[in-house]
Every structure is written in structure tokens, then in C-alpha cells.
Amino acid sequence: MGPAGVWPTLLTLGNLVSGFSAIHYAAKPLVEGDGFGPWGWSSLTVAASLVLLGIVLDSLDGAVARLTDGVTEMGGQLDSLADVVTFGVAPAFIMLNLLSQYLGSGDPIISPDAGHTLGKLCWAVAAIYVCCGALRLARFNVETASGRLGDHLTFRGLPSPGAAGAVVGLVLLHEHVEAIRDGASNEVLAGIAAGIVLLVPVIVLVAAVMMVSAVPYAHMANKYLRGARSFTYLVRAAVVLSCAIWWLQETLAIVFVLYVLSGPWRLLLQRLRRKEVAAP
């Protein structure tokens, strides 16, 4: 490995460590009282934030590799191995910890031997997500010359960072809602938190299917951050950034979930258009 490949490798390893740390914190029992760090975060908030950090590092390592001409076959393979942990195993484990708050019967984490059918199904959904994430990354390596990234504008199938972002975005939103109500008897917030919990395994399953599908997904960095942009685009970006400043958790969850759902929506529109064209 030459000097140019050192920095991308360090960023990739940072992504891997972020995923490992996310699993570590997700495995911790919920902390009563002050929580972790100066902001009193819950263990799930820390775990989900570490996955988001992994997404940032994953986006940087490819960019740095191209800028420094440090793109290597080993770097591509290492990147996929790190992604399996951070965007495959970690989000699935975080989801199981979240669901264990509502479905667990004394066990810290839902397991295959859970005492109820719903718990077993949720574990199966998490396992399917991990498998689909690994298959998605293996296919990506094969289709892009051993992991070498180009300036493509679309992905074939949902990229694993987008899938992970939707999962942890919802988890962060749930923990934010729980922190707001903070034990108060607010039925509205309690209902919202419960609704998010019900939505998470659905999104996880949809994301798993979309990762191994052939549905095109936009390459967010290449499509929206490169090249000249119109004034309307800048206004929309400013609105999203403004919302993120005031409602960070809500904005993250909405943006990532909409990204996951954009694939099925695009597929549905294509089929409707084909039917219209085929109609006499």
C-alpha cells in the first residue's frame, strides 16, 4: 500500500470501528438517570449516532481515495467488509434492542428463542436484513471492478448506507420522543413512540428487499453535490438544512426513509406508465 492509500484506509477502519462501537453500545442495557456523555444520551442514541458517523466516514474514504489516487483493490474489499458491520450487523442489532424495550420478556435482546411469535419474526427480519446487506455489498464489488467507484449517478439497488440511515434515523427519532416526554403521562408522545417502533421492522424489511433488487437509486453525492445547480435546487437545499437545524432527528428520519421508499415509488410509477402505454 502506497502513501496515497493510507488516509482512505484509515477512514475505512474508522468506519469499521464506528460499527463495532455501535454494536457495543446497543448491547448495553438502557441507562436510567443521566445516561451517557454530557448530553445524557441513551445507549441506543449513542449506537445510532455511531452508525451515522460511519456513514460520514464511508462517504469520505471514497472521495479521499479518488482525490489522492489511492483507489486500490484491497481498499475496495476492506470498505465492503467494514460496511457489512456498520451498515448491516449494527443497524439490525440496534433494531432488536429497540424492539426488546416493548417485546422483551426479561431478556436484554430479542433472540430466536423468544417466547412469542412477534419476537421471533422481528429477529428473522433482522437476520434477513444482515444477509441482504452482505449480498448487496458482494454484488456491488463484482459489478464495479472489485469495489472501484466511478462517477455513476445511480446505484443498482438500495445502497447499504442509505438502508442503515433509515433504520438509525427512526431509532434516533424514537429516543428523542422518549426524552421529550421523559416519563410524563403524555399519551400523544407515547403513541408516536410506539408507532415508530412498529414502523422500524417494516422499513428494515423493505430496505432489505430493496438492497438486493435491481431498482435504481440515486447516488446522493454525485447527483446532488457535484456540478452547477439551479436556484430552485439551492432553495430546496436551504429548506432542508434549516429543518435539520431546528428538527434534526425528524429531518434525518424523514429524509432517509423517503430515500428508501423512493425505489419502490419509482418502480410503481414505471409500471403505471407501461400500462398506460400498453393500453389501447
Q: Record the cell numbers describing residue 23, joined without a space.
A: 454494536
CA distances from 13 to 49, 65, 83 (A): 17, 14, 10
User: How many Å apart are CA 204 and CA 161, to the nearest integer?
Assistant: 13
**Which pTM value belongs to this model?**
0.87
User: How many Å apart are CA 33 and CA 56, to the nearest integer?
Assistant: 30
**Tens-level pLDDT at each residue, the chain (280 residues):** 555 568 888 999 999 999 999 999 998 876 555 566 556 688 899 999 999 999 999 988 877 777 776 667 787 788 889 999 999 999 999 999 998 887 765 555 667 766 677 888 889 999 999 999 999 999 888 877 644 444 566 788 999 999 999 999 999 999 999 888 765 667 888 888 889 999 999 999 999 999 999 898 887 665 555 555 666 767 777 887 888 888 889 999 999 999 999 988 888 888 888 877 776 6
Please state the three-class secondary structure of 163-194 as a single string.
HHHHHHHHHHHHHHHHHHHCCCCCHHHHHHHH
At residue 196, the pLDDT reads 93
- Residue indicated by cell numbers 429543518: 243
What is the domain range of residue 171?
A: 3-278
At residue 148, the pLDDT reads 46
At residue 257, the pLDDT reads 95
Angle of helix 187-211 relative to helix 90-103, nearest 10 degrees?
140
- 160 CB-near residues (< 8 Å, 6+ apart): 83, 84, 87, 88, 133, 136, 137, 211
The tally of domains found in the chain comes to 1
At residue 149, the pLDDT reads 46
* Whether 70 contacts 57, CB under 8 Å: no
* Whether 64 contacts 9, CB under 8 Å: no
